[in-house]
Amino acid sequence: MSTVAERAAEAKEASKRMAWASASLKNEALLAMAGLLGDKKAEILAANEIDLEILQKKEGYSRAYYDRLKLTEARIEDMMEGLRQLAALPDPVGEVTGMWVRPNGLQVGQVRVPMGVVGIIYEARPNVTVDAAGLALKAGNAVVLRGSSEAINSNKALVAVLRQAVESVGLPGSAVTLIEDTERAAVVEMMRLNKYLDVLIPRGGASLIQSVVENASVPVIETGVGNCHTFVDESADLKMAGEIAFNAKTHRPGVCNAMETLLVHSAVADKFLPGMLESFIAAGVEVRGCARVQALDSRVKAAEEDDWYEEYLDLILAVKVVDSLEEAVAHIGKYGSGHSEAIVTSLYGNAREFQARVDAAAVYVNASTRFTDGFEFGLGAEMGISTQKLHVRGPMGLVALTSTKFVINGDGQIR
Amino acid sequence: MSTVAERAAEAKEASKRMAWASASLKNEALLAMAGLLGDKKAEILAANEIDLEILQKKEGYSRAYYDRLKLTEARIEDMMEGLRQLAALPDPVGEVTGMWVRPNGLQVGQVRVPMGVVGIIYEARPNVTVDAAGLALKAGNAVVLRGSSEAINSNKALVAVLRQAVESVGLPGSAVTLIEDTERAAVVEMMRLNKYLDVLIPRGGASLIQSVVENASVPVIETGVGNCHTFVDESADLKMAGEIAFNAKTHRPGVCNAMETLLVHSAVADKFLPGMLESFIAAGVEVRGCARVQALDSRVKAAEEDDWYEEYLDLILAVKVVDSLEEAVAHIGKYGSGHSEAIVTSLYGNAREFQARVDAAAVYVNASTRFTDGFEFGLGAEMGISTQKLHVRGPMGLVALTSTKFVINGDGQIR
C-alpha cells in the first residue's frame, strides 16, 4: 500500500470511532485543540517561518501569496476562536430528520450520521488546516488534509498540535490526517481513493477545483466561481439600489459573492446610472459597459462578450442596460455561474418571478449578494460555498458534512 | 458540437421550462404519457420485436438477458400504471424546507428546486426508459437517457411516444432526450458533459456502475452492491429470526436487498442453526459456512475468505458463528457494502448499539432486509438505491432528484 493510501486507511479506521463520539467528547476535543494551539504558538510560528523563507528564495513569488501563507499570533487566535465557536454549535449528528410508520407496522426513520472521511485539497492558507479539521470533527468525521507544498512545514506543525489535542481526550489522532507527500502524484492518488474517502472538497482557485472535478472518482463537492449579478428593475427604490450595488461591488471585491455585473432596466437607466457610475468610478472601480451605458459616461470602457462571463474578483464591473426582467433573467441564465443573484424591485410579482426563475444557489430580493456566507445565513460555520446541485448548494454548514441512514424498527416483519 | 452534446444541450434548454412547470401540468404530462403508451402498444411491441430478433442472431446471448429485454402488453401496462401512480404523488418542487429571520431582518429560506438535467445510463430493461423519464419529469427535470445498444429500437419507440405526450400538454419534447448513438464513445462523452448534465445515475450491473464512478466528471449517484447481513444475537426470538432470515434469503434472491451472509451468536448457534440450515437446504439454498457451522451439518461447504465479500444474488448463503455483537459489527464493517443490515434481538441495548454502530444505508431491528425499497419505505417511487453517502443514501424517491436554493428577502440590507 502506498503511503497516501496507508494514511487514508488510518483515517477511515479513526472515522469509525469518531462516528459514535458523543457531542460533549467532540466539543472537548475542539476546546483542547484551541487550547493547545495557544500553548504552541511559538513552535507553529517557527515552522511557518521556514515555509516563508523557502518561498522567498523562489523566483516570482507574489506578495499576495506570501500574505496568504503567513501566520501571525492574531491569525492563530482567530483559528482558536473559530474552534471555540464550533464547540458551542449544536451537533448535527443523531438528528432524526423524519420518522413514520408503514401500514405493516414497520417504523422507518432517517437519522443524520457523519459522512465518514472528508478529504480536503487546498492551497496556501494554513488556517484551512485548522478550520477544516474542526468542522469535519464536529460533524463526527475524520479528515484527510492535503495542503500546498509551500505550506508543508506550517501544516505539519498545526496537525501535530491538533492530533495531540484529539488524543488528549481519548479520540484517535488519525481523525486528523495530513498527507505529507508534496508530490503532485499524491493528490492524484487521493482523488481516486474511493475505498477510504467518502467525499472530497477542493478549496482554492478555479484551476484546482477544475482539476479535482475532472479527475476525482471520489464524490466531490464543488465550491466555485461566483459571477454574481444585481438587477435594478424599473420599479426599484433607486437609493436602495445604489446602496446595494455599491456594497455588492466594493465591500470586498476579491470574494466569490461580490457583484461582477450590474443589470439596469432601460426605464430607469437615465435616472439611475449617471450617479451610480460616478460613485463607482470615484471609488476606483473600472466600469465596462454596453453601448447604452457608454453613452451615459465617457469614462466607461466597452464591454466585450468575455466580460459578461468574467469573475473579476477585483474593482472592475460590467454594466448592461436591459429592457425587461425577462432579458435580465436570460442574461443571468446564460452568463451567470449559479452563485448569488439579486433583484432590486418594489413589485411583488417581479420579486416572485426573479426568485422562481433564476437558477442559482442564492437568489436575493433587495439585499446585497455579499450575504452569501455560512455565518450570515445563520448556519454557524462554513466549509465553503457549493455551486453544484448535488448534496448541498450554497454555503456549507456542518450539515453538509453529514449523510443520513435509514433506521427500521420492526417486530418480525417479512415480505 | 457533437451529436451527444447537442442532444444534452437541448435537454438543458428544456429543463429551464420544466423547472417552473406547475405540478398540475407535469401530472397532465405523466397521464398523457400513460395514455399514449396504451394507444401505441402495437408499435412499441413491433419495435421491441426487432431488438429481440437482432439479439437472437447473436452468439451466446442468455435467456435471462432476452427476458429482460422483452416487452409484453402486461409490461407496458405496468409502465402506464407506474406513471399514473407518479401523477398521484405530491410534487417535491417548491417545498420550503426551512425559513428563518436573521438579526439584521434578512429572511433566509431554503426551497426545493429541480436538479436540472438528470442523465441515466442503463442496461437492457426498456421499462427503465419510462420509469426514469417519469420520475425525472415529476421532479421538474429534463432527462437524458442512454440505454443499451440491444434495446435501441425499443427505446426509440418509447421515447417517441413520451415526447409526443410531453409536447401534447405544451411542455418541451426535449425534456425526454434519448442518446441514439450506440457507440461506447457516446457514453464516455456523456459522462463528461458537466456543462449540460447536473447528475448522472448509472442503473445496472457492478461493472457499469464502476465504470461511471471512475470516468464521470459529472456528479454521480452510485447505486450499488448489496452484501447484506442478518445477525441473530443471543437474545433473539429464534422463531422470528428463522422467519426473517429465510425471507431475506429466499424471497427474491436476485435483488440487492437480499441477505448474503447470516451471522449467528455462538450462544444460540446449536439451538438455532440445525433447523435453519435444514430449511435453507430444503429450499435449494447452497450453504457455505465457517468451521463451526460445518460441524453442525455435513452438507455445509467451507466458506472461503472471498465468500464473506460476495454478493451472490442467488440461492447461496454464507453463514458464520460469532461470539459477540462486537464481532458481528466488525464483520459487517469489514465485508459489508453499506446497503442493508439487520439484527434480530430482544435486548434494547443491542438494538440501539447495532443501529448506531453499523454504517449502512438501512439498519434494521427485527425485520427482513428485503424492505429496503422506495415503495416499502413509503417514498412513493424509486430511482434505485444509493449506497453512497453524498446527497442521498438508501432508496431514492423524488426528493433525490431535487436540489435546493436559498431565497433571501430583504429591504435594503448591505454589509
With cell 444505508, the residue in question is: B361
Only one residue has cell 496537525, namely A159
For residues A30 and B329, give the distance between their C-alpha atoms in angstroms, rounded to a whole number. 28
CA A213 to chain centre: 15
Which of B102, B363, B366 lies closest to A407 in CB terms? B363
Going from the C-alpha of A114 to that of each of A143, A201, B250, the distances in angstroms are 11, 15, 33
Here the cell at position A212 is 479535482
Enumerate residues 205 to 224 of chain A having a beta carbon within 8 A of any beta carbon in chain B: 213-214, 217, 219-222
Give the cell for residue A347.
413589485
Residue A299 Cα to chain centre, angstroms: 35
Contact status of B368 with chain A (Cβ, < 8 Å): yes
What chain B holds in terms of domains, given with CATH numbers, is 3-223+396-409 (3.40.605.10), 228-375 (3.40.309.10)
CB contact under 8 A, B366 and A240: no
From A43's Cα to the closest Cα of chain B, the distance in A is: 37
Cα–Cα distance measured from residue B66 to residue B154, given in angstroms and rounded to the nearest whole number: 13
CA distance B233 to chain A (A): 14
Full-model pTM? 0.92
Q: Annotate B184-216 with DSSP letters as a single string.
A: HHHHHHHHT-TTT-SEEEEES-HHHHHHHHHH-
pLDDT at B204: 84
Looking at residue B28, its amino acid is E
On whether the CB atoms of residues A17 and A120 are closer than 8 A, the answer is no
Is there a contact between B193 and B7 (Cβ–Cβ < 8 Å)?
Answer: no
Q: In angstroms, rounded to a whole number, what is the distance separating the alpha carbons of residues B95 and B175?
A: 22
What distances in angstroms separate CA B100 from CA A134, A376, A402, B305, one per listed residue? Answer: 26, 12, 22, 53
In the structure grid, which three cell numbers stand for residue A46, read together? 517557527
Q: Which of A49, A80, A91 is nearest to A66 (CA)?
A: A49
End-to-end CA distance of chain B: give it in Å, rounded: 43
Which residues are bridge partners to B363 per DSSP? A407, B341
Instruction: Tell which residue, B188, B221, B182, has the closest CA to residue B202.
Output: B221
**CA distances (Å), origin A140, targets A42, A94, A116, A176:** 30, 10, 7, 12
Check residue A95 and give left, alpha or beta (phi > 0: left; psi -120 to 50: alpha): beta
Question: B326 burial class (0-12, 13-18, 19+ CB within 10 angstroms)?
Answer: exposed
Q: Which three cell numbers stand for residue A85?
A: 465557536
The span from the CA of B126 to the CA of B71, in Å, is: 8
> Best mutation site among B95, B243, B389, B392 for testing chain A: the one with the most A CBs within 10 Å?
B389
CA distance A325 to A332: 11
pLDDT tens per residue across all 415 residues of chain A: 789 999 999 999 999 999 999 999 999 999 999 999 999 999 999 999 999 999 999 988 888 889 999 999 999 999 999 999 999 999 999 999 999 999 999 999 999 999 999 999 998 789 999 999 999 999 999 999 999 999 999 999 999 999 999 999 999 999 999 999 989 999 999 999 999 999 999 998 888 999 999 999 999 999 878 999 999 999 999 999 999 999 999 999 999 999 999 999 999 999 999 999 999 999 999 999 999 999 999 999 999 999 999 999 999 999 999 999 999 999 999 999 999 999 999 999 999 999 999 999 999 999 999 999 999 999 888 888 999 999 999 999 999 999 999 999 999 999 9
B251 in A contact zone (CB under 8 Å): yes
Strand order in the sheet with B142-146: B176-178, B142-146, B117-122, B199-203
DSSP label at B300? P
Here the cell at position A172 is: 484517535
pLDDT in tens, B123-143: 878 999 999 999 999 999 999
User: Residue A18 phi/psi, 5° resolution?
Assistant: -60, -35
Distance from CA of B42 to the nearest CA of A (A): 35
What's the gap between Cα B351 and its chain centre? 27
Between CA A335 and CA B215 the distance in angstroms is 28
Spell out which residues of chain A touch residue B362, defining contact as CB-CB under 8 Å. 405-408
Count the residues in chain A: 415
CB pairs under 8 A between A and B: 208
Q: Does B257 touch chain A (CB under 8 A)?
A: no
Q: How many CB atoms lie within 10 A of CB B218?
A: 22
Query: Is A377 in the B-facing interface, judged by CB distances under 8 Å?
Result: yes
Contact of A367 with chain B, judged by CB distance below 8 Å, is answered with yes
Residue A165, C-alpha cell as written in the block: 489535542
Conformational region of residue B408, where left means phi above 0, alpha means psi within -120 to 50, and beta covers everything else: beta
For residues A205 and B33, give the distance between their C-alpha atoms in angstroms, rounded to a whole number. Answer: 46
**Pairwise CB contact (< 8 Å): A365 & B217:** no
Which DSSP symbol is given to B21? Answer: -
DSSP annotation of B125 reads -
Write out chain B's pLDDT in tens, 415 residues: 789 999 999 999 999 999 999 999 999 999 999 999 999 999 999 999 999 999 999 988 888 889 999 999 999 999 999 999 999 999 999 999 999 999 999 999 999 999 999 999 998 789 999 999 999 999 999 999 999 999 999 999 999 999 999 999 999 999 999 999 989 999 999 999 999 999 999 998 888 999 999 999 999 999 878 999 999 999 999 999 999 999 999 999 999 999 999 999 999 999 999 999 999 999 999 999 999 999 999 999 999 999 999 999 999 999 999 999 999 999 999 999 999 999 999 999 999 999 999 999 999 999 999 999 999 999 888 888 999 999 999 999 999 999 999 999 999 999 9
Q: Nearest-CA distance from A51 to chain B in Å?
A: 34
Extract the C-alpha cell encoding A320: 448592461
Pairing, β A176-178 against β A142-146: parallel
Which of B370, B394, B406 is the closest to A377 by Cβ? B406
Cα B70 to Cα A367: distance, rounded to the nearest angstrom: 57
- How close B162 comes to chain A (CA, Å)? 26
Interface pTM, i.e. ipTM: 0.93
A100 touches chain B (CB under 8 A): yes
Is some CB atom of chain B closer than 8 A to the CB atom of A407? yes
B243: part of which helix (H) or strand (E)?
helix B238-250
Closest Cα partner for B140 from A400, A20, A389? A389
Q: In this structure, how many other beta carbons lie within 10 angstroms of the beta carbon of residue A146?
A: 25
CA B246/CA B225 separation, integer angstroms: 20
Which position has the grid cell 425525472? B136
Kindly report the three-state secondary structure assignment for every residue of chain A: CCHHHHHHHHHHHHHHHHCCCCHHHHHHHHHHHHHHHHHCHHHHHHHHHHHHHHHHHCCCCCHHHHHHHCCCHHHHHHHHHHHHHHHHCCCCCCCEEEEEECCCCCEEEEEEEECCEEEEEECCCCHHHHHHHHHHHHCCCEEEEECCHHHHHHHHHHHHHHHHHHHHCCCCHHHEEECCCCCHHHHHHHHCCCCCCCEEEEECCHHHHHHHHHHCCCCECCECCCCEEEEECCCCCHHHHHHHHHHHHHCCCCCCCCEEEEEEEHHHHHHHHHHHHHHHHHCCCEEEECHHHHCCCCCCEECCHHHHHCCCCCCEEEEEEECCHHHHHHHHHHHCCCCEEEEECCCHHHHHHHHHHCCCCEEEEEECHHHCCCCCCCCCCCCCEECCCCCCCEECCHHHHEEEEEEEEEEEECC
In angstroms, rounded to a whole number, what is the distance separating the alpha carbons of residues A196 and A37? 28
By the CB < 8 Å criterion, does B409 face chain A? yes
The answer to whether the Cβ–Cβ distance between B388 and A244 falls below 8 Å is no
Closest CB from B19, B355, B368 relative to A359: B19
Instruction: Determine the residue type at B296.
Output: L
β-bridge partners, A100: A108
**Do residues B350 and B236 lie in contact, with contact meaning Cβ atoms separated by under 8 Å?**
no
How far is CA B184 from each of CA A188, B121, B181, rounded to the nearest angstrom?
26, 12, 8
Q: What angle do CA A89, A94, A97 make, to 5 degrees?
A: 100
Q: Do A390 and B390 touch (CB under 8 A)?
A: yes
Q: Which residue of A has its CA nearest to B396?
A: A406
